[in-house]
Chains A and B, each alone.
Chain A
Amino acid sequence: MQLESFQYDNKTVRNFALATIIWGVVGMTVGLWVALQLVFPTVLNLQPYFNFGRLRPLHTNAVIFAFVGNGIFMGVYYSLQRLLKTRMYSDTLSKIHFWGWQLIIVAAAITLPLGLTTSKEYAELEWPIDIAITIIWVVFGWNMFATIIKRRERHLYVAIWFYIATFVTVAVLHLVNSFELPISFFKSYSWYAGVQDALVQWWYGHNAVAFFLTTPYLGLMYYFMPKAANRPVFSYKLSIIHFWALIFLYIWAGPHHLLYTALPNWAQSIGIVFSFMLIFPSWGGMINGLLTLRGAWDRVREDVILKFMVVAVTAYGMSTFEGPMLSLKSINAVAHFTDWIIAHVHVGGLGWNGMLTFGILYWLIPRMYKTELYSKKLANIHFWLATLGILFYAIPMYWAGFQQAEMWKQFTESGQLKYQFLETVTYMAPFYAMRALGGVLYLSGAIIAMVNIFKTIGQGNLVENEAAEAPALEKTYTKHAGEHWHRWIERKPTPLLILSLVVILIGGMVEIIPTFLVKSNVPTIASVKPYTPLELQGRDIYVREGCYTCHSQMIRPFRSETERYGEYSKAGEFVYDHPFQWGSKRTGPDLAREGAGNLKKSNTWHFNHLEEPSAISTGSVMPSYAFLIENDLDTASTPVKINAMRTLGVPYDASFAAKANADLMAQAKEITASLKKDGIEVPANKEIIAVIAYLQRLGTDINKK
């Protein structure tokens, strides 16, 4: 058959590779900064733009979407062309995809420190950026599908299945979770409220891990590991089971982030069952990856690329063992809200994503530049720094997590809680310091990698267009004798896409629809009323400052929690919360009933505490919010916000928007009057007054008659 000549596009791959390493170093540096903020809170929290609450989302977004995101595209653009024996469909689309994605990252890096956030974890970016992400994602999908259609290889290798599932599922997740009502160019309210918002968010959040950090990287594993080891994958049949089982199960697992919360029990149970079952496909995949090295283990000692890949796949195995365990209620009761979870995600992030990315980079760059890696020795040093960095990061965090849970739950013989929350915070200081050391090690390794890669680039020449030859694909496919009808799936990308979509939609719909539509799932509480305008404004500042990154608003039904925080949280208490603020981590105490019962504090306490937390609570790691005393409250937005809430179904009177600011001022003046009695003179139109009003409201409704 006639061979056709064509060229692979290496330039786009190179661009994504450079973006991966550069953004990786940036994202990890921000991570180290936030880690050190917990060790040196007064020095490193530069208010307001670089406070912990604003920087932590920048770190998570940078490593997920900038480091791993660019890593995905680097690997996909390289492997897709070669697996399909064709150039990418359109150089223009590749260019738009590359630059569009980098612009989105820059937009995130600017808006998050400015406090422009939706507060939904890993989906913090505001609505204009959400739209940009949608457009660029479509460009990526279009380019990928058009490439698949013009391919010269009939079969679709399993890596491509993973890419297709990634594309379609991320699209669905992003669209559903980003349903929001814009009220200005950079502020929106989540369409969902309370329990429903939490369920959608963690359905998204968990599947961001699944379909952004896992499935595309599994595709990369199935391509680059055989490449690096120079032998085919251990079992192709196992990879097929791995694929279908993984995408089917993952989508159901989201509710394990909400165990013991106000989420309906049946939804929690589904989450547990499916999360537990996930261990089977995950370990199937891990074993398949490791056994690909059968007969090549001697090379692992010498080949630094294989070393990176072995640690990556091992870390994948560890975190996918831990994940199902953490989904069991009894373990979750201990681990949730503690630093254990931080350890867990970093074994996945630093180990699985990080190590695989570096392994691929070391393999890819010399090949595209037709040269050798600048220094194998430096790569080996990087390997050891990274591996030790992971250990120094994870071990102190596991320890910290156990200690926190233990201290939160301990009672004295007379039945009192043994520790004040603050004692559990100050106890963490050495663990946080050790974790930061782990971060320093890992980051130094990444910087060495960057130097090594730049030096390699310097000594070689990029083959921008790599020549290749392959026979054209026959237009008509002739079935061979005895072929089963199901063979079509390996040849046809569109049915594969549709089937993947159906598979993930089943789980998504089963989970979400009943909670949305069956009223009995969220019992309403008559005494729960909408926020006053001042409280609503205060809540928006709470969201802006990222308070949810350290404070939960969800009291679980344990004696240790009800003793400390009061009555456990009910689903009906959150029906006006657009967005929900349950949080996922307790670096500080829960705030669900901050304004009620034993926890209630005076306005003066809140004022002083926000101004200088460590002056009130010695050893507190909370940053100062003194700038809230200077900032004027934006009252011009009040009527717009009230009307937006009305659109979302919050029962304010139709005429309320017009008089909302009068109501706001009246409430603010009550607070300033009470502050004045304690000698604090502050105008009523300052942001701190709104925040105090919101904190004083928290958790009070259910006690109202």
Chain B
Amino acid sequence: MFSFIKKYTETMQDIQFYPIFSLLVFVAFFVGVIWYVKVMDKKEVDIIKNLPLEQ
């Protein structure tokens, strides 16, 4: 399987787009996390937040 990957990546064209593609993944990921935090239920957050203080 490894040689299969190797064969194609050795001859990969336009390899410079690889990092740019990853940057896009990164930005998308971040937007996702911020959206996720934004829509979190406040009551639930309070419950979780206090978990360490429960005896």
Contacts and interface: CB of A to CB of B under 8 A. Distances in A.
Interface of A: 79, 82-83, 153, 155, 157-159, 222-223, 226-227, 230-233, 236-237, 240-241, 244-245, 248, 266, 270, 482-484, 486-487, 490, 503, 506-507, 510, 513-514, 517-519
Tell me which of B39, B40, B52 has the highest count of chain A C-beta atoms within 10 A of its own C-beta: B52
B1 interface: no
B53 A226 contact: yes
B52 A83 contact: yes
B10 A153 contact: no
A222 B53 CA distance: 11
Interface of B: 5-6, 9-10, 12, 15-16, 18-19, 22, 25-26, 29-30, 33-34, 36-37, 39-41, 44-45, 47-54
A231 B10 CA distance: 55
A519 B10 contact: yes
Given A484-B39, A486-B36, A506 B30 contact: no
A155 B50 CA distance: 11
Contacts of A482: 41
B33 A244 contact: yes
Given A240-B37, A484-B39, A510 B52 contact: no
A265 to B, nearest CB: 11
B51 to A, nearest CB: 5
B51 A245 contact: no
B9 A157 contact: no
Given A83-B52, A248-B26, A248-B30, 4 more contacts: A248-B29, A266-B19, A483-B41, A517-B5
A482 B41 CA distance: 9
Contacts of B22: 506-507, 510
Given A245-B30, A483-B41, A486-B39, A517 B9 contact: yes
A518 B48 contact: no
A503 B12 CA distance: 24
B40 A237 contact: yes
Given A248-B26, A248-B29, A486-B39, A236 B9 contact: no
Contacts of A486: 36, 39
Contact of A155 (B16, B34, B37, B47): B47
Contact of A514 (B18, B36, B45, B51): B18
A471 to B, nearest CB: 12
B1 to A, nearest CB: 14
A196 to B, nearest CB: 13
A266 B18 CA distance: 11
Contact of A227 (B16, B39, B52): B52
A241 B52 contact: no
Contacts of A244: 29, 33
Contact of A513 (B9, B26, B50): B9
A141 to B, nearest CB: 22
B11 to A, nearest CB: 9
Contacts of A159: 52
B15 A514 contact: yes
A227 B40 CA distance: 24
A153 B51 contact: yes
A489 to B, nearest CB: 8
B37 A83 contact: no
A79 B48 contact: no
Contacts of A153: 51
A246 to B, nearest CB: 11
17 contacts: A155-B48, A157-B52, A158-B48, A222-B52, A231-B53, A233-B49, A240-B37, A240-B40, A241-B33, A241-B37, A266-B16, A482-B41, A487-B44, A490-B48, A506-B26, A514-B15, A518-B10
Contacts of B53: 226-227, 230-232
A82 B53 CA distance: 10
Q: Which of B6, B19, B41 has the most CB of A within 10 A?
A: B19
A237 B49 CA distance: 9
A503 B52 contact: no
Contacts of A83: 51-52
Contacts of B47: 155
Contacts of A487: 41, 44
A248 B36 CA distance: 16
